[in-house]
Chain A
Amino acid sequence: MAGIIGLLPPPAAAAESAVSARVAADLKARPDLAAAPVVWYAVPAMSDLMRLPGVYPADGQFAADLRIVAAQDEYEPASFLLYPLKSLDKAELKVSDLKGPAGAVLSRESLDLKVVKVWYQNGNGWFSYFSDVGLKLVPELLLNDETLITVDTARQANYARVNEPGGSRQVWISPPRRLDTGFDAFSPAFADARTLQPVALPAGAFKQFMLTAHVARGVKPGVYRGQVELVAGGKAVASIPVALRVLPFELPLPATRFDLSRNFIVSLMGAWPKLSPDHPAFLPTLKNLRRHNILHLGPNCGPDTPKDEAKKRVAAMKEAGFETHPILGGSLPWLGEHDGTPLTFDELMGFKRSAVSWKKFYMEHFGHTDAALGLGDEQGASWVAKTRPAWRLVHEQGMKVDLAGHSHYFYKGGYMLDIYPAAGSPEELEKPRPWNEVGFTAVGFYASQHNGSENPSFVRRQHGLLGYLSNYSMVDNYEFAYGPWNDLANDLYKPMVLAYPTGQGLVDTLAWEGFREGIDDIRYATRLHLLAQEAIQSGKLDRIYAGRKVLQWFALMKGAEVDLNAVRAEMVEKILNLMTLSETVR
């Protein structure tokens, strides 16, 4: 296909010159790399900076080790940029095993290396979830095969590679909205490679990579070392040292900040894939969601679902490892009016029948009724008032009720509503406060912002410590959209995509990694709070003070402004300190 070059153009001459001058200055500090065809910069994996080909990494560390600090049962990323001093067509990046203490080895299978694809998103890319008519280059996709998507800067267009029996073809996937006729991303012919494929490295253009380590439960604590080897033309051209510190503790599931006995719910609206359980992408998608810290999802079926289908869905939910307390996603039928017209006897009987059938369904598949049923969306206060008898029927069956919307719900339903995604920002302390004072409602934020920003640091903060520090008890933002791949396709909102669907599962993104890190921040904070609580209850003054200092530190933390990478490191430091004080460090 003429005109599709597959590579981004080198930066403009002046900018390129400035960048190369800075790289040359960096090289002076490492004369051993003077003849290298490519150099690297270690950069924070989670950053607000857009890593574009022509942008020097102001926060990068030249030729530095990739350092990863991870607890057990955690995925933790590192990132680096390659800067080729001469073009390398098919460069291979190979991750070694990491060697740890006393002969321990962390297999390369635990390390996932992906290239960050810079492609066209709409003009709001990186900043908001709204649609736009323009396009701009944004780093987003984490690919094994960078040629799955090609970018034509002359035409300002993204192309998807679809493999067909007669060969592959390129499909234009970024047409203007009115021209968009849809792209079937779930086609088996559209899928990423299983492992990282050789990449093209044009001279003078930075290219970002993400290296994500998975530290399973029970991995021996200590420092593990290895490298990422870069091979081009059959020769090793660079060796990037990797150091992974495995911490001597596991991360717990998240709990709320204000009550450590309460589970912190983690979900995203729309996240259950709308696929047949038999589709090859179905289970990989669920497992990907769980790996990214979605905890409460599924089974997205109920009493009206054919039994075989329901069994498959429930089995998949359990196999993927989702929590079953509570179960979200059930719903009551829509009965009655959208206003405050009182519910009639027959409508209530309809709700009762539905609630009873849901109870039966949940008892059959899960053995309990710790599940929420939704009814309505963004309703008025008078609707809430008139719906209370329906909610009571759900409660009578031992289940919970779920409704997203605005603060006025509290006036009429503060004593009844169990699951409440609140329209607003996770920074709003006042949103969850009254609900927490009543004390049973799981409150999350949505809408400010909805998903859609590609910025991993933004997504991490919104879904992580910002809401946690504001005393929210849930993440359930709107939404986890399964495409479309065209950022111009919608008319008001941009596609609220955190990970992109393919025929074999999800393609991860920077933002999706940000989401996982956000929840991991809460898991670290939970661990730290648990230790602080234990210390405070120890009866030993030094430990009591240490525990209280942790609480004071959290109390002074400004969730919207604080450097989250530093906070993570500090949480680790404080956890280790408290463990030392309690003599539990192994």
Chain B
Amino acid sequence: MTTMNRISLALLIALPALSFTAHGQDNKAALDAARSNLTAHTARAASLMAGRSPKVEEAIAEYEAAVAIPDAPNKAKIAAFKAMAEARIRGMAGLDLNKMDIGQAHAILRRALALPGLKPDEQAEAWQNIAKLYERQDLTAEARAAYDKMQEVNPAKTPAGPRKSESAAEIRAACLLTLNNPAATPAARWSAFKDLPSWTTWRTRDFAALRADCETWLPAFMAVDTNRAMGLVSKIKEVKASDPSFVAWAAPLALLAPKLEGADYVLVRNAQLGALAALGKTKELVQAAESMAKDGKLPAPVRFQGSLTAAAFKGGGADMKKIVAAAAKAFKPEELPHKEKSDVILEAARVAMAGGQEQAARGLYAAYEAFFAQLPRASTPCAFMGKAVEGGAYTAKLDRPYGDNLKFLLETDAAVTGRNIGPEAGTEASGDNVTDFYTACDREGVHFFFRAHDSKVDEVLNGFVTGGSYEGYFAAGSNQPYSFFNIGLPGGDFSDTFDTMYPNRQFRSASRKNGLAKSETRVVDKGFVTHLFYDWEAFYDKLPANGDAWQFENIRWTRAGGLSFGGSQSVHNRSSWGDIVFSGLTPENLSAIKRRLVFKAAAKYRLEGRPSENGVIDFWRDAQLGDPEFYRTELKPLVDTLDEYAKKVGKEMSVADVDTLFANAVPGWMEIRYLAAERRQNYLDRKRMAGE
């Protein structure tokens, strides 16, 4: 409850007193009118102060109007002054603390002291309001003085005094005093028990201490009412698996409480199994599981779980598929809907896992997984084309729902044998659930063409609805770093700033920044088309062969969720991506790729000799900045070799020339900076190791 709400409530409480202060019938009408008038003003004021943008000055005006009503009683006016002071303080919200002039609020509160005809208790109330404000300011002496004034006028009124002790030891001592007092009422003793600091396990994490206190005091309470054990339920929820000893002790007590039922009852039952499993108490666990299997208070699936768990622990490494089937025989099929059945099989698997019964856990988990459709890994061809940008057939789709959200959970027997997880998983109503694409490669690199159908193109273009975006990943094989892309629709904003490896001798990133990744998006009649391109230059040392699969995923974030190629279970979830599979990479086509790479690598290499490019070859040759001795002995032989190869680069290169240069020169041309760095490091290391 906010301060303002508390004050409004106080005003309303104060108002009924008006009727009791009236004298005679004549005054009643005036008093009723005053009451009505004051109520109206203060209600308006409270309304003006409500919400996040209070109208402070207007509210204060209303309070002023309220306190100006001649016939209104002082008690109500004191409350109104208090509310007015609060409004003034609230109006300072947002200022620095040292700029908050709380003196203004004090001035308002002190006006209550000047009300005519104040009774002692009313004066005391006014002084208490002042004292409390001083307390909020941490002005202890001033608060004390105001409380003294309060007691001068009304000795019966007690100051709020210092805050209640927050020392756990002091609280505990006070609780124990009551608990050990034979004269204390049962209610007081129960209250003291519940106030023991050991219950604050969210802070102490000391469940052993709580257990010790409960073992001392709880039995007496439970002897009168077993429902007193209900307090342990929240602790069982809180401790989860972190303290199985506590759960194994607390659960049987909690289960004695008749009021424990429904989901909490199931939870405690399961927690007990988990705890006994974790403690390795197999015998007790089997007993508890068998008891669950017979417990009419539990729904059928949970009884099935009990039966399954008992059988699994008794069966050791037995065939869990058979155990599941056998346990299910005791139930009618309609008692075990697939969702509930799969859930409890998983729960039984987890109990087996906690109990170190790996074989049983694996078997039960396999039974659980059998409820889910196992999608084949998505795959689409990436054929070599003369010019990929001149067009291909859109043969693939982004049609698998994104997320590990159990949407594939099978609800029917038919589903178990293979459910069509197709485009219907998307939401046609959003108008953007269809995306098709194809991929192809040519001598330049790998191309992706996406066609995002959207029935609301104009609305997207004009900003009324979002066009969504693509988020995807591309990797040159299963154990290679991957590139990330994010492409906004309709604008095609292309972002790829997520490094999974920094460039090195064996890897270069394909990124927008270095020009090796590009994307462009265009608006068409019924949606947006996007071209995404990765240059072979980034992959020159790992060119694919026919049949090679490179990993790829694209998630279209539609207005109704994600739809993807591979069925990503979460973002960057690599094992749930799909593949592009290369074809058409004949020797001629590969040679065409290599020819382009020879030209690119040679051009890149030539820059390294230029001072205008801060080329690495030029740098080390530089007598002022580089190290000519290092250059002469370590780098020049490599440079001479690479230079000789560079002379062979030309339009008339034969296929054999291309092969030779690609194998022998391209790696050196491409990586001359790293090769120079390696040589430099070895050179310096040898220098460091020379002599003593």
A residues near B (Cβ < 8 Å) are 48-50, 58-59, 65, 67, 69, 100-102, 122-124, 127-128, 130-134, 136, 169, 171-172, 175-176, 178-182, 222-223, 243, 245, 341-346, 348-349, 352-353, 386, 388-389, 392-393, 425, 427, 448-449, 453, 455, 457-458, 461, 466, 491-492, 549, 552-553, 556, 560-563, 565-566, 568-570, 572-573
Contacts and interface: CB of A to CB of B under 8 A. Distances in A.
B350 A181 contact: yes
Given A130-B571, A565-B681, A566-B680, A386 B507 contact: no
Interface of B: 3, 52, 89-90, 92-97, 100, 102, 136-138, 241, 274, 278, 346, 349-350, 353-354, 356, 358, 361, 365, 368, 404, 478-479, 481-482, 497-507, 569-576, 614, 624-625, 673-674, 677-678, 680-681, 684-685, 687-692
Nearest to B619: A556
A181 B130 CA distance: 57
15 contacts: A69-B688, A101-B692, A127-B482, A132-B572, A132-B574, A133-B576, A175-B353, A175-B361, A181-B241, A342-B94, A343-B93, A346-B3, A352-B138, A425-B497, A549-B625
Contacts of A563: 504-505, 673-674, 677-678, 681
Contact of A176 (B100, B102, B365, B685): B365
Contacts of A131: 570, 573
A582 B350 CA distance: 68
Contacts of B93: 341-345
Contacts of B674: 563
A122 B505 CA distance: 25
A306 to B, nearest CB: 8
Contacts of B673: 561, 563
Given A130-B571, A245-B688, A348 B501 contact: no
Given A132-B575, A341-B52, A386-B94, A223 B570 contact: no
A119 B320 CA distance: 28
A565 B346 CA distance: 49
Contacts of A389: 94-97
A127 B497 contact: no
Nearest to A59: B505
B672 to A, nearest CB: 12
A205 B3 CA distance: 72
A346 B94 contact: no
A353 B139 CA distance: 12
A298 to B, nearest CB: 19
Contacts of A175: 353, 361, 365
Given A179-B361, A556-B614, A353 B574 contact: no
A565 B687 CA distance: 15
A223 B692 contact: yes
Contacts of A133: 404, 569, 573, 575-576
Nearest to A245: B688
A181 B354 contact: yes
Nearest to A573: B684
Given A560-B503, A566-B681, A349 B137 contact: yes
Nearest to A178: B346
A335 to B, nearest CB: 12
B502 A561 contact: yes
Contacts of B500: 127-128, 453
Q: Which 5 A-B pairs have the closest CB atoms?
A: A134-B575, A342-B94, A130-B572, A563-B677, A566-B677
A124 B353 CA distance: 25
B236 to A, nearest CB: 16
B353 A569 contact: no
A586 to B, nearest CB: 13
A345 B133 CA distance: 11
Nearest to B368: A178
B575 A457 contact: no
Contacts of A343: 93-94
B353 A570 contact: no
Contact of B136 (A180, A346, A427, A466): A346
A134 B568 CA distance: 12
Given A175-B353, A461-B502, A491-B404, A349 B138 contact: yes
A344 B572 contact: no
Contacts of A491: 404, 570
B294 to A, nearest CB: 25
Contact of B365 (A69, A179, A223, A393): A179
A341 B52 CA distance: 6
Contact of A223 (B3, B136, B691): B691
Nearest to B688: A245
Nearest to B509: A560
Given A134-B575, A427-B499, 6 more contacts: A123-B573, A133-B569, A181-B350, A562-B677, A563-B678, A569-B684
A167 to B, nearest CB: 14
B404 to A, nearest CB: 7
Contacts of B274: 181
Contacts of B504: 48, 457, 563
A349 B136 contact: yes
Contacts of A180: 353
Contacts of B687: 573
A223 B691 CA distance: 7
B353 A179 contact: yes
A245 B688 CA distance: 7
B501 A48 contact: yes
Most chain A Cβ neighbours within 10 Å, of B274, B404, B499: B499
A41 to B, nearest CB: 14
B350 A69 contact: no
Contacts of A458: 499, 501-502
Contact of B498 (A69, A449, A565, A573): A449
Nearest to B361: A179
B365 A572 contact: no
A425 B499 contact: yes
Given A101-B692, A180-B353, A345-B136, A69 B571 contact: no
Most chain B Cβ neighbours within 10 Å, of A180, A345, A556: A345
Nearest to A447: B498
Given A124-B572, A175-B361, A492-B570, A392 B241 contact: no
Contact of A48 (B94, B278, B506): B506
Nearest to B102: A345
Contact of B499 (A101, A178, A449): A449
Contact of A58 (B346, B353, B368, B506): B506
B507 to A, nearest CB: 6
Contacts of A573: 684, 687
B572 A128 contact: yes
Contacts of B361: 172, 175, 179
A175 B360 CA distance: 13
A98 B41 CA distance: 90
Contacts of B685: 67, 69, 569
A136 B479 CA distance: 9
Contacts of B681: 563, 565-566, 568-569
A169 B97 CA distance: 61
Given A49-B506, A50-B479, A345 B691 contact: no
Contact of A348 (B97, B278, B346, B692): B97
Contacts of B90: 344-345
Contacts of A122: 575
A262 B139 CA distance: 40
Contacts of A100: 692
B573 A132 contact: yes
B684 A572 contact: yes
Contacts of A342: 93-94
Nearest to B690: A223
Nearest to B167: A306
A345 B688 contact: no
Contacts of B95: 389
A392 B97 contact: yes
Contacts of A553: 625
A179 B625 contact: no
Nearest to A341: B52
